[in-house]
Chains A and B, each alone.
Chain A
Amino acid sequence: MITVDKKRKVDMWLILAVTVLVSIGTVSIFSSIMMLDFKERIIRTHILAVAIGVAAMIFMWILDYQVLEEYSEKIYVFSLFLLLLVLFIGVVDKGSRSWFRLPFFSVQPSEIARISLIIFLASYFSKNKNVLKDFYGIIKVFLMILPFFILMMKQPDFSGILITFFPLAVMFIVAGVNMSYLYMFLFYIFVVLIIPMVGVVVNLYPSYLNNPVIEFLYEISYFNINMLLFGVGLGVFLFLLWKIIHKLNPVVEYSYFILIYAIIVSGYFSGVFVKNQIKDYQYKRIESFINPGSDPKGAGYNIIQARVALGSGGVKGKGLFSGTQSRLGFVPERHTDFIFSVVGEEMGIFGVFLLFWAYAVIINRIKKIAILSRTSFGYFLSAGFAGLFMGYFFVNIGMILGFFPVAGVPLAFVSYGGTNMVASFIIIGILQSIYTRRLLIA
């Protein structure tokens, strides 16, 4: 359904929703840090971030977004450069070298790079509308975004990589990617994940080894002779399978089986590789996700305490600045990743629904802006940003609600985080720019 908005210059709903989120966020952040020693610094940085963010938003709004289209490649390359630079002169925090330390605050180039990637892809897709319809097109795009992922891997910023999947997925779908490739990719990811997951499950519930399937998968998850046997065995198996099916139905091409074989084998190798790469604490996170009780004082602690905070808020909440779980420090990372539990604890389900509503409004308005956008560049941009916000929402809140393992992803506009806040405001500014210019003649 396409509607034409009246001649409004600014999308008020967007502004309203963002204001609501930032307010909720600010109050929750301040409440949660009350007992901390360095609370002045956080308050200062947060206010500064919001101020800079608003300024940047206004700037991006005034700026014609189509300028971004013009310079999209340069912007992307520059952001790749930043990602490379941070590997050399950046500082390490929580195990990854992801930050530039500046006089008053720190900046995360990943956030900027992600926006640049979206801008770049939006531009590319609007110029090459059917690029994703065939295999080689997909490979081409894949190669273009590969540097981004490799550099992110190097920090390593796993949560950043994770969150990037969402805008990418939405943009790919909207750009008309051949769904079968998407499904193949998902299948590949599935195979990749099987091996490490078997490892996690067996760690948690050793009795599963009695199951012959589990045992088999466990046996082949090492770089040894079993691997070779499996590879050969699978090839033989699929070959015979094809022979039989071909006899029954000659239409079936052997290329399918080659493809399946290729995917399984590559997925398998990747899976074993990933299994060896995954660090202990990440395993623990997944274990806690499956069974929070398995490590209640360690990885499960965050989740359990966050859940307690949420649940104890009830309908009305404990009141602003009165959340005991948060105030007393029982929920770790409560001003960043777990800010949602603070909202739930202090403002109850009312606060939660308000937050849900605000997010829904933002994401909804972005869809409107996408449809109303005059250019396809604007359309793809909006789609990408919609995906990004959906990603933050899904991963961060999903993690606290137990749908997702702990992922280290903030909640845009609500969590404390300078770069993230500014980046989010920039996105809103771009969106406003698209919205304002929806009726202008190019």
Chain B
Amino acid sequence: MLGYDKDSEKLDKVYRVFYIVLVFFIIKIINIQIVNHSYYLELSEKNRIRTVAKLGPRGNIISSDGEVLAKNKISYSVMYFPREKMDEEYIKNLSKQISKISSTEYNAVLKSIEKIQKGLKPAKIVDGLSVKTAMYLYEVKNVFPEIEIMEENIRYYPMNNMLSHIIGYTAKMDENDWKYYSAKGYSFDALVGKTGVEKKYEEYLKGKNGGLFMEVDNRGRLVRIMGFEKWEKGNDVKLTIDYSVQKAAEEALNKLPYKRGAAVCLDSNTGKVLAYAVKPGYDLNYFSSYREDKKNENIDEFNIPISGLYPPASTFKIITTIAAVESGKIKEDTKFYCPGFYDAGNRVFKCWEKKGHKEQNLIDALANSCDVYYYNVGYIIGPYEIENVARKFRLNEKTGIDLPYEKPGKIFGPKSRMDSKGYWFVGDTLNMAIGQGETLVTPIGMAMVMMALSNGGIFYKPYYVDSIIKSDGKVLLKNEKEFAGRIELKEETYNIIKKAMRRVVTDGTGKICDIKGIDVYGKTGTAQNPHGKDHAWFVAFAEKEGKNPIAVSVLVEHGEHGSSAAAPVARDIIKAYYKTNSDKNESVNEKMIIE
């Protein structure tokens, strides 16, 4: 050629470098386009496809008579999208606007925004807003584009703190929930049931999400709609609760000046829970909204009907009466004289009526709740008989209702004393006979006693979920009564105890519960409380042609007198169930026999 061999050597060297670089490029391109292809493909899809999820609404929780106890409500919230380098004045103005329109405290809003600015991740600053407020805020958005108005489905409990323990509440997931629910395809900010029915039936209640799939460009603008999936409403859970009865129970409890109490009403033929009222209860809506400082508030979550243990007091005289008749040693017309006290030898036991009831038979004694009569009875029949009957009535067992933290009662009789290596004194028998001492029962335990007395001796497991209904009306699940046990008593016993408990209501301490047209059988009780005022009891069952009999159990903490505190609640419950408005004793100002 031209004799440039030496120079073309150099050119060769340069070209060698080029080819080496080319090889590196080829390796890298294979790595990107083949080895990691699926990864990049996924990313490119994520870029261009947006899903607007339309959350399927959660199913409702309703009462047996169709009242909605938990439902969904559309509420609006404001989200703040931080940008780098935000002017302080600007943020202050924005906070002022938002706080004014949404009636939220200015400092709270300002602090939220500042916190978000620090973290530089968009987050909610206010929620629970109405449509109107949202509309006003849209205008604010024109001036301050960093906010976004979001539509949310929140869970709303129109009855606030009614049936709090049974219904339960929903809230955002925490770590433990997430472990369980993420596998089921929940999105991380979904609401899940935390307690009660909301949690137990989460699977049924949850709606199915649908969505719109859109292709967007790099500015997020819609290019075309790719697909649409319809959302579905979740299933409704129908409770056994009768709203009119529940409402009556709640209102009656609220009317009382006492802070804590509970009332339970069961259908004696099925075990259905018709009413389950707990005062104070807690507002389920409290948990739905977004709060920073939830931990500071005091919420009384104690489930009185199943976890509260109280001395049964005079209501236990029912047990003693039954034990007495069953033993054969006491008859309806067995008489004892009550001078106002009873001499037990080493100690004198008093009757609540200092003047004494004079001479009574068994019926009178229960009607008047005479302690002395029952001291006599107890002494004659002995503690074993009484303990036996108490056990037969399952007072030391859990009812098995599907709620957590149920406690069984404690029957403190000679058997238990023996187990704890103690001694049994006569005085213990006397106390036991009138329901004082260390015996403890739950309100629902007493309700079970009433149930058995009203249906011929059968125990049904209490349940509160009637059925699960799909949004199209189809019934997915229906609960039936569940047999839990039986007590065998003489017919004579039933007659006598019913007669006696009827007398309590018509003439005795339970007069306030006497309702025209309905046969109400009841018993008052005043539980001695060494730490404060006495607790008030009233237990009853009611019968009327045409409807199942019901069992009622009311306890008012520190209510002092069963007749004045607890009995009125029972009355309202029974009236509501039978839907009558007339009292036999029209005037409330009747002279009441204070026990």
- A: which residues have CB within 8 A of B? 2, 35, 170, 173-174, 176, 305, 307-315, 324-325, 328-330, 344-345, 348-349, 352-353, 356, 360, 363, 367, 370-374, 376, 379, 383, 386-387, 390, 394, 397-398, 401-403
Contacts and interface: CB of A to CB of B under 8 A. Distances in A.
A324 B48 contact: yes
A311 B28 contact: no
Contact of B40 (A311, A360, A390, A398): A311
A367 B32 contact: no
A312 B43 contact: yes
B348 interface: no
Given A173-B13, A311-B41, A349 B33 contact: yes
Given A371-B8, A390-B18, A348 B47 contact: no
B218 A307 contact: no
A360 B219 CA distance: 38
B379 interface: no
A298 to B, nearest CB: 10
Given A173-B13, A174-B14, A309 B44 contact: yes
Nearest to A375: B2
B190 interface: no
Given A173-B14, A176-B10, A371-B8, A352 B33 contact: yes
Given A311-B41, A328-B215, A401 B25 contact: yes
Contacts of B36: 311
A310 B37 CA distance: 9
Contacts of A397: 25
18 contacts: A35-B217, A174-B14, A308-B44, A309-B44, A310-B32, A311-B32, A311-B37, A311-B44, A312-B44, A329-B217, A329-B218, A330-B44, A330-B47, A345-B44, A367-B11, A373-B2, A376-B4, A398-B25
B215 A360 contact: no
B223 interface: yes
A325 B2 CA distance: 51
Given A328-B217, A376-B2, A379-B4, A394 B32 contact: no
A344 B28 contact: no
B183 interface: no
Contacts of B47: 305, 308, 324-325, 328, 330
B114 to A, nearest CB: 22
B41 A394 contact: no
B218 to A, nearest CB: 4
A398 B29 CA distance: 10
B135 to A, nearest CB: 32
B29 A352 contact: yes
B592 interface: no
Contacts of B1: 2, 371-372
B216 interface: yes
Nearest to B19: A360
Contacts of B26: 353, 356
A401 B27 CA distance: 10
A26 to B, nearest CB: 22
Interface of B: 1-2, 4, 7-8, 10-11, 13-15, 18, 21-22, 24-26, 28-30, 32-34, 36-37, 39-41, 43-45, 47-48, 215-219, 223
Contacts of B28: 401-403
B37 to A, nearest CB: 4
A330 B25 contact: no
Closest 6 CB pairs of A and B: A311-B40, A312-B44, A329-B218, A328-B217, A312-B41, A314-B37
Contacts of A394: 18, 21
Contacts of A2: 1
Contacts of A307: 32, 40
B33 A314 contact: yes
B292 to A, nearest CB: 29
A387 B14 contact: yes
A2 B30 CA distance: 34
Nearest to A332: B218
Contacts of A315: 33-34, 37
A344 B7 contact: no
Given A312-B41, A403-B24, A328 B10 contact: no
A198 B14 CA distance: 31
A315 B45 CA distance: 17
A311 B18 contact: no
Most buried by A among B2, B26, B43, B44: B44
B2 A310 contact: no
B48 A401 contact: no
Given A310-B40, A330-B217, A360-B22, 7 more contacts: A174-B14, A315-B33, A315-B37, A328-B215, A328-B216, A379-B2, A379-B4
